[in-house]
Structure 1
Amino acid sequence: MATSPQIEISATYMRGGTSKGVFFKLDDLPEAARSPGPARDRLLLRLMGSPDPYEKQIDGMGGATSSTSKAVILSKSASPEHDVDYLFGQVAIDRPFVDWSGNCGNLSAAVGPFAIRAGLIEAARIPENGVVEVRIWQANIAKTIIAQVPISAGRVQETGDFELDGVTFPAAEIPVAFVDPADGEGAIFPTGNRVDVLEVPGVGTLEATLINAGIPTVFVNAKDVGYTGTELQAAINVDAKALARFEAIRVHASLRMGLAETLEAAGARQHTPKVAFVAPPTGYTASSGRNVAGSEIDLLVRALSMGKLHHAMMGTAAVAIASAAAIEGTLVNLAAGGGEREAVTFGHPSGVLQVGARASRVDGRWRIDRAVMSRSARVLMQGAVFVPFES
């Protein structure tokens, strides 16, 4: 039988926030994969080891979770207002699908450091010690992200004492701002309502906040779906019926938000919208064993990504949380006690996270000027990946 050799592609494996992914410069990809389309998707699927009916991604770079089956493609920006163009692909684990419909907020923190290391930022802008502001064009959702990347001795500083729940070791802090994070050109509330009544066959009638900020997200009250908001992954991810209920909520919300025209299309679009449930603050034990006191948080949030409860919180969902919390009357705002606020600290399965956002009304529509959070990032491996691939 005739065989073809694997191809070798320059790549960097990075952690950003509570996610990991394979980073590429656009020009380093095979020519057939430099443009959107089936060839690019085939390459990334094979790279990650998908689709894998065993859901382990043993024969690829993926880590068999939504947080670790990710790819990033960067290039110098064509826009004079931005430094780099950032494209994110969420690679499905058990199906042949790459979802390009949204951003990864966690990996957004790694984009600036990668851009500097990869020579995509002019050397003259990099101080011996200080901070480089990297302006990022997020191509999936056509939005601006601004990362403040620390520099030490002329290089990206990766070690430090900033601790992020969901990440075992401390690292250097990278503040990340998401400018006007409403998804695409749409309204923050696609239905025009801060709270909707969502009819979900087999689940019931639920109050829901449907928001496009950071990433399209549907928020429901924990008590309405039979939870307290203190749950960890083991309480939900082994419960096939619970996962099916959350998927039903997600796909019906997708139709209501105008993200898909049919339930089948909504089901295929795994990455968006996210579904999350919220509750007022109370104490709980995080997955690390840390006791989180109700007094140190404003609310509880649990979110699902790619069909499973996330081990911490997706960065883009954190933007949605910050945005919804800043607008009076949403379910997130009410769970946090209501009223005007520009920051919240919420409890997630791995611990706590503080996020901030400022809301305003422009021409009768809600707008989030920017949402801000801190993350960390570091290079795990740099070199080349090998992929069996024919264009």
Structure 2
Amino acid sequence: MTQTAIPFWFLRGGTSRGPYMRRTDLPQDREALADVLMAAVGAGHPLNIDGIGGGAAVTTKVAMLSRSDDPAADIDYFFAQVAVTERQVDFRPTCGNILSGVGPAAIEMGLHPAVDGETRVRILSVNTGARIEAIVRTPDGRVTYEGDAVIDGVPGTAAPILLNFQDVVGSSCGALLPSGERRETIDGIDVTLMDVAMPMAIARADAFGLTGTEGVAELDANREFYARMEPIRVEAGRRMGLGDVTSSVTPKFGLLAPPRHGGTVTARYFMPWNAHPSMAVTGSQCLATCALLPGTVADGIAAPASGAPAIVTIEHASGRIEVTVDYEATDEGIVVRSAGLLRTARLLARGELMVPRSALGPEVNVDHRGAVQAGPAHAGAA
């Protein structure tokens, strides 16, 4: 089998990891692109044994970067969620944890210049249209990964990466509350359907007979819960205008419970067919907004926030995450201006990722050594 070498940078971004590649090195055709990404990750096997995936949804993610044509952005970030055991790729969602590595990766790839001290990278999420500013530490004009920042779900410390999310409300469904309701009932379970950075169906843990403090292994072993949750999620997707989401990872599902350790709320996040080992960056923004908006399923269990911006602390399976939400309370509810988080990232490897030549299609230029030739400096990310 003839293989082709694609340049890649392998990073941990937040509590996820995966390959970061130049969009110009990959097929523009979505079907061909999906074939390449499935081959790279090794989709279709629980261990992703024939690729570089890690056998979990947080380790089968791919970031594709290019310089942006948008005057308000520096980098276009196109995200793909590759399935673990199925041969399937979902281009609908975005990933805020993988986004944590976009700034460093863009600098490492030579797509964005670094300055001495801190480098600001303006990022456009191609999947959702959201705009994010990443602040990356770059002493002497080079990315540093060493620092004293700690995020739960990742061992050790690293250099902080500050993310400021804008245009996050209704990015997928067109409204904060796509169904127009703060709380509604699906199959006897009260839910809040909300779209902030990530469309979600959110319920209380006790509605499923859970405490909300269960660990990931315990939740994933509870197949009765998933059998009860999935039809609710599918109907939620229909009500949110997302169509048939049976084979899509959006909307995600979240459970809320009272805080146990001084935070604002306890949450468990589902991807959606497995529990997240910690917390998604995008999901944390949606859950934080749910905790701030009166009348949602968070009413009565989330600790009240004071002032705006508000710091919402979400207790999750691996610790806690803080989301700073800049919002304004109105007679109709709240207007979310932006959300900020602190994340970290680390470059783990770089080199060439081998995929079958047949998966690339004729549009990708390959030299006599079987390596992808460098694409043009400017190319659209979608």
Question: What is the TM-score when the length of structure 1 is the normalising length?
Answer: 0.87
**1:306, 1:191 → 2: CA distance?**
20
**Which residue in 2 is equivalent to 1:177?**
164
1:266 matches 2:245: yes
- Is the CA contact (8 Å cut-off) linking 1:196 and 1:209 kept in structure 2? yes
Residues 207, 339 of structure 1: CA spacing in aligned structure 2 closer, same or farther, 3 A cutoff? farther
1:357 matches 2:345: no
**1:36, 1:217 → 2: CA distance?**
29
**Which residue in 1 is equivalent to 2:356?**
388
1:202-240 deviations in Å (ceiling 9; x for gaps): xxx111111000100111011101111111012111222
- Is the CA contact (8 Å cut-off) linking 1:326 and 1:357 kept in structure 2? no
- Is the CA contact (8 Å cut-off) linking 2:63 and 2:78 kept in structure 1? yes
- Is the CA contact (8 Å cut-off) linking 1:11 and 1:24 kept in structure 2? yes
**Which residue in 2 is equivalent to 1:287?**
none
- Is the CA contact (8 Å cut-off) linking 1:359 and 1:369 kept in structure 2? yes
- Of 202, 205, 216, 2:199 maps to 216
**Which residue in 2 is equivalent to 1:40?**
33
1:189 matches 2:180: no
**2:329, 2:346 → 1: CA distance?**
38
1:12 matches 2:5: no
1:168 matches 2:146: no
**1:219, 1:280 → 2: CA distance?**
14
Residues 302, 138 of structure 1: CA spacing in aligned structure 2 closer, same or farther, 3 A cutoff? same
- Is the CA contact (8 Å cut-off) linking 2:135 and 2:162 kept in structure 1? yes
1:296-324 deviations in Å (ceiling 9; x for gaps): 31210001114001100011101112222
**1:181, 1:223 → 2: CA distance?**
29
| 1:1-391 equivalences in 2 (<5 Å) | 4-29=1-26, 33=27, 35-52=28-45, 55-122=46-113, 126-128=114-116, 130-182=117-169, 183-184=171-172, 186-198=174-186, 200=187, 205-260=188-243, 265-269=244-248, 271-282=249-260, 294=261, 296-332=262-298, 334-338=300-304, 342-360=310-328, 366-390=334-358, 391=361
**Amino acid of the residue matched to residue 150 of structure 2?**
E
**2:257, 2:165 → 1: CA distance?**
25
**Which residue in 1 is equivalent to 2:377?**
none
- Is the CA contact (8 Å cut-off) linking 2:233 and 2:253 kept in structure 1? yes
In structure 1, runs of 5+ residues without a counterpart are 283-293
**1:181, 1:110 → 2: CA distance?**
19
Say what the alpha-carbon RMSD is for the aligned residues.
1.7
Secondary structure of the 2:100 match is helix
1:309-366 deviations in Å (ceiling 9; x for gaps): 1100011101112222232232235421346651211110001111121233689575
**Amino acid of the residue matched to residue 227 of structure 2?**
A
In structure 2, runs of 5+ residues without a counterpart are 362-382
**1:207, 1:268 → 2: CA distance?**
23
**1:13, 1:105 → 2: CA distance?**
16
**Which residue in 2 is equivalent to 1:291?**
none
**1:365, 1:335 → 2: CA distance?**
18
**1:384, 1:306 → 2: CA distance?**
31
**1:108, 1:371 → 2: CA distance?**
14
Alpha-carbon shift at residue 241 of structure 1 (Å): 2.0
Moved over 6 A (4+): none
The structure with higher relative contact order (CA 8 Å, sep 6+) is 2
Residues 93, 222 of structure 1: CA spacing in aligned structure 2 closer, same or farther, 3 A cutoff? same
**1:247, 1:340 → 2: CA distance?**
35
1:270-301 deviations in Å (ceiling 9; x for gaps): x211101101112xxxxxxxxxxx2x312100
Secondary structure of the 1:309 match is coil
- Is the CA contact (8 Å cut-off) linking 2:158 and 2:345 kept in structure 1? yes
- Is the CA contact (8 Å cut-off) linking 1:104 and 1:314 kept in structure 2? yes
- Is the CA contact (8 Å cut-off) linking 1:45 and 1:96 kept in structure 2? yes
What is the count of residue pairs matched by the alignment? Answer: 356
**1:173, 1:161 → 2: CA distance?**
8
**2:357, 2:227 → 1: CA distance?**
35
Question: What is the TM-score when the length of structure 2 is the normalising length?
Answer: 0.89
Alpha-carbon shift at residue 108 of structure 1 (Å): 0.8
- The percentage of aligned residue pairs carrying the same residue is 34
